[in-house]
Structures are given as structure tokens and as C-alpha cells.
Amino acid sequence: MSVPTATSNLATDLSTASVSDALDSLGLPGSLHGIGALRQGQRTVGPVFTVTYELVDDTGGTVGDFLDDVPAGAVILIDNAGRTDCTVWGGIMSQTAHERGIAGTVIHGTCRDVAVATTAGYPIWSVSRFMRTGKDRVRVAAVQTSVTIGGVLIHPGDILVADDDGAVVVPAARWDEAADIARRIDRVEDAIVEAVRGGATLAEARALHGYHSLQTWKDAS
Ligand SMILES: O=C([O-])CC(=O)C(=O)O
Ligand SMILES: [Mg+2]
């Protein structure tokens, strides 16, 4: 079983909707509830580089100290426990990440300098946007350790897909299987639309192609 890396040929054509349905059919969690696209029309896929933040104590702290260690092609996944009252990401970081070929940033928390990221074309997904800095408020607690976001346990190197609908993570060892299922779901959904164009009712087209159970968990046991 091959495990994808930042240099693997990861499919960029798959939508988060199809990947999420594929995970449902495998009985796996993965959809990151509450995290949305900063702007429409951006998408990414890649292995996650995880970062965990915590509150500062009297020794202080800041944001972004890990960025020089992130490889090209990775998606930075930041766990700030959903905190939205101060940032963990801003414009200098967006421009640096873009320059380095990092594939995007997904934040369980908030970010600022949105216009800078937009101009740079650097893709971000977050809970919100807010201007108050995390400098002196948060610090990096860990990098490349497992994180849990919205009940989803994510390991470094798991594959994250993100688009207009949000972000979803697939365990690295299940990527090939999930991608195959997602692609099959796409083909079936295309066939339903074709049938409607050919004169079928939606009910007929969906029934013909088993639409309502496309994502239903097929328990292998
Ligand atoms: O304080 C932050 O969130 C970081 C910041 O503005 C930047 O990187 O430009
Ligand atoms: Mg800034």
C-alpha cells in the first residue's frame, strides 16, 4: 500500500464533496466542520504539516515560528482549538508560503491580512478572519504531531483536499482507495445529470444509478 507524499502525483481534480462521500462509504471521518474557504475559486490537495498552538504564559510567544521547516507541496494544518479572538496566520506568512511552493493553509482558528493572501493567490481555509494578532497571545506548542479537529484525528502526512465547500482529510494509507471511490461517485453523478438531460425525471435518474446510497457505509465485516 503506497503512502502519498508531497511529491506524489496527487489528484487535483477531486472535489471535497466526492471525497467526503467516499469517506462516508468507508465509515471514516474526515470533514473539518466549521472551517471554510477564505475566498471562492481556490483549491488544493497535499499531505498535511501539522501545527498546534497554545496560550502564552509569562515566557511569551508568537506566530509562524515553524514556517521555515515546511516542505514545498505540503498543506499547513493549524490547530488553535477554534480560537477566533487572535490570529495564527497573516500576510508575511502567506507571501513566504507562496514563495516556497507550500500548497495552502487550513486553520482551526483565524487569520488576517486577507487582501495580501488574495493578491498573492495563496489559498487559505479558516474558521474566520480577524485582525488582532496572536503575537504575545499564542505560541507554537508542537509541529508534526497528531491533532484532533472537529472530532477528526489527523496525523502528519494525511492527505487534505480543500475547495469552495471546505476541507476534508483522508488517512494517508486510505488515500488511493478513497480517491478511487470518489472518482466512481463523480462518474455516477455525471451519468445522473446525463440521464436528466436525456429526458428522465430526476427521480428516475437517481433510482437508476442508486444515488441515495452512493455514500452509504458498506461495512466490510
Ligand atoms: O500576526 C500575525 O497574524 C502574522 C502577520 O500579521 C503576518 O504574517 O503578516
Ligand atoms: Mg501582517
Which ranges in the chain belong to alpha helices (H)? 16-26, 91-100, 114-120, 175-197, 202-209
**CA of 91 relative to ligand 2 center, distance in Å:** 5
Domains in the chain: how many in total? 2
pLDDT in tens, 151-204: 999 999 999 999 999 999 999 999 999 999 999 999 999 999 999 999 999 999
Ligand 1 atom with the shortest distance to the CA of 62: 1
Residues 95 and 195 grouped into a single domain = no
**CA of 114 relative to ligand 2 center, distance in Å:** 9
**Count of alpha carbons within 13 Å of 117, Cβ hemisphere only?**
25
Task: Please check whether residue 65 lies inside any domain of the structure.
Answer: yes
Beta carbons of 69 and 58 less than 8 angstroms apart = no
Task: Label residue 187 exposed, middle or buried (CB < 10 Å: 0-12, 13-18, 19+).
Answer: exposed
Output the residue whose Cα is nearest ligand 1's atom 6.
90
Ion ligand 2 residues within 5 Å by Cβ? 90-91, 113
Residues 193 and 124 grouped into a single domain = no
Residues 124 and 36 grouped into a single domain = yes
Beta carbons of 10 and 45 less than 8 angstroms apart = yes
Rounded Cα distance between 209 and 167, Å, is 27
pTM of the model: 0.93
Ligand 1 atom with the shortest distance to the CA of 111: 3
ipTM over 0.95: yes
